[in-house]
């Protein structure tokens, strides 16, 4: 019996929020216990689509959590993705425009969203460009300065 995607993904989110799930196999088993038969490949795709990441708990164990539950800021893995993907950061009025390596904009935007920056209204990511909406030009300039520091790109390069 094939499970519908939305109910399955909703159940996955419920499971990772309420249980300590450390492997995809554990998640497949938890779904089976909930009456949903799925393959590990399906669970792997769902994890990516839902933005679920693996974090280290205070006790040193690994567990899956939705990106929104990562706490104050992006995990080390997301910060590494952000730093490695970003090639330049510019502003245009209240927008911050972030250029990335080809194919990396969505991953970098996910990392950016997980930073929970106060002035970030929203992001749109293409293949190699992210548009970040902020409330004002001043907010955009401040965010750009912060992101240049976070990304560790050379601010002396043209366009920074």
Would you say 130 and 105 are in contact if contact means Cβ atoms under 8 Å apart?
Answer: yes
Please state whether beta strands 122-125 and 52-56 pair in parallel, antiparallel, or not at all (unpaired).
unpaired
pTM flag (> 0.85): no
End-to-end CA gap in the chain: 53
**What pLDDT sits at residue 73?**
44
* Residue 90 burial (CB count, 10 A): 13
pLDDT digits (tens, 9 = 90+) for 17-53: 899 999 999 999 999 999 999 999 999 888 887 878 7
**What pLDDT sits at residue 24?**
93
Q: pLDDT band at residue 67, thresholds of 50, 70 and 90? A: low
Tell me 127's DSSP state.
S
3-state secondary structure 133-156: ECCCHHHHHHHHHHHHHHHCCCCC
Q: pLDDT band at residue 58, thresholds of 50, 70 and 90? A: low
Distance (Å, whole) CA 123 – CA 30: 33
Q: pLDDT band at residue 71, thresholds of 50, 70 and 90? A: very low
- Residue 90's nearest CA partner among 38, 28, 33, 157 is 157
pLDDT greater at residue 1 or residue 10: 10
Q: Which residue has the tokens 């779904």?
A: 31
What number is the average pLDDT over the span 140-147? 90
- Structure tokens of 68? 């929104």
- Structure tokens of 56? 């280290």
């Amino acid at each position: 019996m094939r499970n519908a995607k939305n109910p399955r993904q909703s159940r996955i989110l419920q499971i990772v929020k309420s249980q300590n799930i450390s492997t995809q196999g554990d998640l497949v088993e938890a779904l089976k216990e909930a009456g949903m038969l799925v393959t590990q490949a399906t669970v792997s795709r769902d994890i990516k689509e839902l933005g679920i990441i693996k974090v280290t708990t205070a006790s040193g164990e690994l567990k899956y959590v939705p990106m929104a539950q990562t706490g104050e800021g992006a995990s080390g893995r997301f910060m590494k993705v952000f730093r490695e993907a970003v090639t330049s950061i510019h502003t245009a009025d209240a927008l911050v425009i972030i250029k990335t390596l080809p194919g990396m904009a969505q991953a970098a935007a996910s990392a950016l969203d997980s930073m929970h920056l106060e002035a970030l209204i929203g992001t749109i990511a293409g293949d190699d460009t992210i548009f970040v909406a902020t409330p004002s030009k001043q907010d955009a300039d401040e965010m750009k300065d912060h992101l240049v520091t976070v990304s560790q790109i050379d601010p002396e390069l043209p366009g920074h």
